[in-house]
């Protein structure tokens, strides 16, 4: 990797850092809107998902990695969502969405 | 039988990656599942309860957690800058950035310990409420990861740095792998912060 490439990467890191700070401030700001639990969860997790994607894509270089690594993470994410969905499926008759 | 692990520097012809990178990503995939199980537990307990407290009901401080988020994000930037400095063969800057990364970890743990002591002083323990059980389990496991990352980063900053003299490419790969773990720790906190403190 040439010095120019590294400089280009560093500029991206700084932009991602700025975006993460702004999105963190937005996350806290949204919490003061006192939205209902459903929309608040959806909005909060959407912002977290954007921040997480920025970290994974740019700091962890996933955006420019080999396809094999993308598959490893894609498969683990599929099982991750299974883990999140299993409680909803098994407890489907007992959901209250505690607020 | 040779004790040398193959493809620690050069890329494997079949995967196009060295074994270090494959290893750390497979480990991170297992970490996704570990934290996924706990987030699943959070969802199960939250949607199954008729009332769910807000973090502020147990005195969770949003400003403190906000500062901790900024500390961890900043340390992620210094970590990636440490790696970039090695790629430029600038070891002086590498040491500065790596030191700042370790310092960020220390700062995070100091703030976390202030938060924990405040909970204990109010007699808030994991058995007090399901919310607190999840809070202590999730943040406790995350804090263990922060400590583990700090130990590895401190090793690469001081005793482990001597590898730079003999095998700079392998050392750079080690720093990159330690960075991937550190960014993952940051990533987990990005989700823990809104889930526990704000929603």
Domains and CATH numbers, chain B: 19-50+60-198 (1.20.120.80)
Give the pLDDT band of residue A87 (cuts 50, 70, 90).
Answer: confident
Q: Spell out, as residue ranges, where chain B has pLDDT lower than 50.
A: none
For residue A97, the model assigns a pLDDT of: 58
Is 70 exceeded by the pLDDT of residue A95?
A: no
| Whole-angstrom distance, CA of residue B120 vs CA of residue B140 | 14
For residue B27, the model assigns a pLDDT of: 97
Determine, for residues A31 and B190 on separate chains, whether the beta-carbon distance falls below 8 Å.
no
For residue A41, the model assigns a pLDDT of: 83
For residue B197, the model assigns a pLDDT of: 93
For residue B59, the model assigns a pLDDT of: 94
Asked if residues A44 and B89 have their Cβ atoms less than 8 Å apart, the reply is no
Is 70 exceeded by the pLDDT of residue A94?
A: no
Residues of chain B contacting residue A97, judged by C-beta atoms under 8 Å apart: 46-47
Tens of pLDDT, residue by residue over A22-35, are: 999 999 999 888 88
For residue B49, the model assigns a pLDDT of: 86
Give the pLDDT band of residue A90 (cuts 50, 70, 90).
Answer: confident
Determine, for residues B47 and A10 on separate chains, whether the beta-carbon distance falls below 8 Å.
no
Q: Does B13 touch chain A (CB under 8 A)?
A: no
Q: What is the DSSP letter of A63?
A: G
Determine, for residues A99 and B51 on separate chains, whether the beta-carbon distance falls below 8 Å.
yes
| Residue tagged 């494959």 (tokens) | B22
| Whole-angstrom distance, CA of residue B121 vs CA of residue B72 | 26
Which chain B residue's Cα is nearest to A14?
B77
Q: What is the DSSP letter of A57?
A: I
Nearest to B52 among A20, A31, A99 (CB): A99
ipTM for this model: 0.94
For residue A58, the model assigns a pLDDT of: 97
Give the residue extent of every domain in chain A.
3-94
Supply the mean pLDDT for chain A. 89
């Amino acid at each position: 990797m040439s010095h120019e490439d590294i400089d280009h990467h560093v500029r991206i890191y700084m932009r991602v850092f700025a975006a993460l700070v702004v999105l963190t401030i937005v996350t806290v700001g949204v919490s003061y809107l006192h939205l209902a639990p459903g929309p608040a969860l959806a909005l909060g997790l959407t912002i977290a998902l954007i921040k997480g994607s920025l970290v994974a894509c740019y700091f962890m270089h996933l955006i420019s990695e080999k396809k094999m690594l993308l598959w490893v993470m894609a498969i683990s994410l599929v099982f991750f969502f299974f883990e999140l969905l299993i409680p909803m499926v098994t407890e489907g008759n007992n959901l209250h969405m505690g607020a | 039988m040779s004790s040398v692990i193959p493809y620690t520097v050069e890329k494997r012809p079949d995967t196009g990656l060295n074994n270090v990178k494959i290893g750390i990503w497979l480990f991170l995939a297992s970490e996704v599942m570990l934290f996924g199980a706990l987030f699943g537990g959070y969802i199960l307990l939250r949607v199954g309860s008729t009332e769910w407290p807000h973090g502020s009901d147990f005195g969770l401080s949003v400003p403190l957690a906000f500062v901790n988020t900024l500390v961890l994000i900043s340390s992620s930037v210094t970590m990636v800058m440490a790696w970039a400095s090695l790629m430029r063969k600038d070891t002086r800057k590498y040491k500065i950035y790596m030191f700042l990364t370790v310092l960020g970890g220390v700062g995070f743990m100091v703030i976390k310990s202030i938060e924990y002591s405040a909970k204990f002083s109010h007699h808030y323990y994991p058995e007090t409420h399901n919310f607190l059980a999840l809070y202590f389990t999730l943040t406790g496991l995350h804090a263990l990861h922060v400590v583990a990352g700090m130990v590895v980063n401190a090793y690469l900053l001081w005793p482990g740095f001597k590898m730079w003299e003999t095998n700079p490419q392998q050392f750079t790969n080690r720093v990159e792998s330690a960075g991937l773990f550190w960014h993952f720790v940051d990533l987990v906190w990005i989700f823990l912060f809104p889930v526990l403190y704000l929603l």
